[in-house]
Amino acid sequence: MTNPRSKSELISETAISYVHDWLKESIYGVKKDFTSKYTEKGTLLEDEGIDKAITWLDLPLVLKNEKRIEDEYFTGSPDLILEDEIIDIKLSWDAFTFPLFEDELPEKDYFYQVQIYMHLTGKKKARVVFLLLNTPEEIAKWETHHDYSDVPIDKRWKAYPVEYDPVVIADLKTRVGNIREYIKTIKI
């Protein structure tokens, strides 16, 4: 009996590519390296970003989450876990990548990311918070060093609230199931 739907109808080409990379990492025991100036800044300034978010958003005493949480479908590590919400911090590269004028969360992937974080923690609210921090000279390289110290604080952060949606989680679980089924069909 053949499945009436092709693999491309069940999972996206992007997901198939990710699965192939993940399987290669598992088989060969190596990690695919990916870095860019954007991820480098995010990694280098992660702790500073969390500290700034706590201060600028006037959050209660909270520490950076260091724990990875997982269940049978998902895994993740939200930046901040408060009593009633999740906060995930995103560091913009410069003023031109900072979403100053966007009313809606600019990246749909971040919506799904915090949906999973809320599912894993049982929280019903989340915020994705974008920050505009100074770019350290050592990673600015040939570009101009970005210094926003004179910019008012309220122009250096922007928060997007996200409500938990169980329908989204159900859909993501279905997608995970489809990916697991696809993996079973791969011949190595």
Q: pLDDT above 90 covers what percent of the chain? A: 65
Lowest mean pLDDT among 50-54, 99-103, 139-143, 156-160: 139-143
Q: Where are any strands of DSSP class E within the chain?
A: 69-70, 75-76, 80-81, 86-91, 125-131, 157-163
Q: Which CATH number does the domain 34-185 belong to among 3.40.50.2300, 3.60.40.10, 3.50.50.60, 3.90.320.10?
A: 3.90.320.10
Query: At 65, is the secondary structure helix, strand, or coil?
Result: coil
Cβ atoms of 163 and 125 closer than 8 Å: yes
Exposure of 158 by Cβ count < 10 A (0-12 exposed, 13-18 middle, 19+ buried)? Answer: buried
The beta strands (E) that lie in 49-142 are given as 69-70, 75-76, 80-81, 86-91, 125-131
| Domain locations along the chain | 34-185
Residue of higher predicted confidence among 29 and 76: 76
Is the pLDDT assigned to residue 43 strictly greater than 90? no
pLDDT for position 150: 94
With beta carbons less than 8 A apart as the criterion, state whether 116 and 16 touch.
no
| Inter-axis angle of helices 37-44 and 46-56, nearest 10 | 70
pLDDT tens-digit readout, 105-128: 999 999 999 999 999 999 999 999
First to last CA, the chain: 23
With a cut of 90, say whether residue 129 has pLDDT above it: yes
